[in-house]
Amino acid sequence: MSWLDTLKFDANGLIPAVIQDAHNGQVLMVAYMNREALQRTLDTGLCTYWSRSRQQYWVKGETSGHVQRVKEIRVDCDQDCVLIRVEQEGVACHTGHRSCFYRAVQNGELVEVEPVLIDPEQIYGSR
C-alpha cells in the first residue's frame, strides 16, 4: 500500500495542500490536490494542483515561470491535509506578492503588510 492510499480526500476527491518555503518556513499559499495531482507532483518534483474553478490540473509556474520545486511532503495527523515544503522561484501569489498571505487584520481592518515584488502584468500580461 502506498502512503497515498492512507490519505483522506474529501467528497470531491480533494485534499488541501499548504505550501511552505523550505528555507524560511513562510506559508506561501494553499491549494487543492487530488490523488493524480499528488502523483504528478511526485513524478515531476514540481507542484501540480487541481483547479476547482477550471476543473483542470495546473503546474505552479507553467505560465509565470515561478515554479515550486518540492523539497519535502508531510502529512498531518488526521491524514486529511498535506504540507509541501518547496523551493519557490519568484513569487507564489498571482498578485505579485511573495506569499498569498500578504494581508493582516489590524484594528478590525485588512492591511497589506508585505510589498508587491513584481507587477502581475509582468508575470501574466493583461488578462
- Please write the tens of the pLDDT for every residue from 19-51: 999 999 999 999 999 999 999 999 999 999 999
Residues 6 or more apart whose Cβ sits within 8 Å of residue 14: 32, 33, 34, 50, 52
- Candidates 19, 26, 39; CA nearest to 81 is 19
Are 15 and 33 contacting, i.e. CB atoms less than 8 angstroms apart? yes
**Distance, CA of 32 to CA of 112 (rounded, Å):** 25
pTM value is: 0.92
**Distance, CA of 59 to CA of 1 (rounded, Å):** 26
Band of pLDDT at residue 53, cut at 50, 70 and 90: very high
Band of pLDDT at residue 120, cut at 50, 70 and 90: confident
- Candidates 70, 71, 69, 84; CA nearest to 27 is 84
Instruction: Name all domains of the chain by residue range, CATH numbers in brackets.
Output: 3-91 (3.10.20.810)
| β-bridge pairing 82-88 and 15-21 | parallel
Model pLDDT, residue 127? 47
What are 79-112's pLDDT values in tens digits? 999 999 999 999 999 999 999 999 999 999 999 9
56 forms beta bridges with 51
- For residue 44 the three cell numbers come to 515531476
- What sign does the CA torsion over 28, 32, 37, 42 have? positive
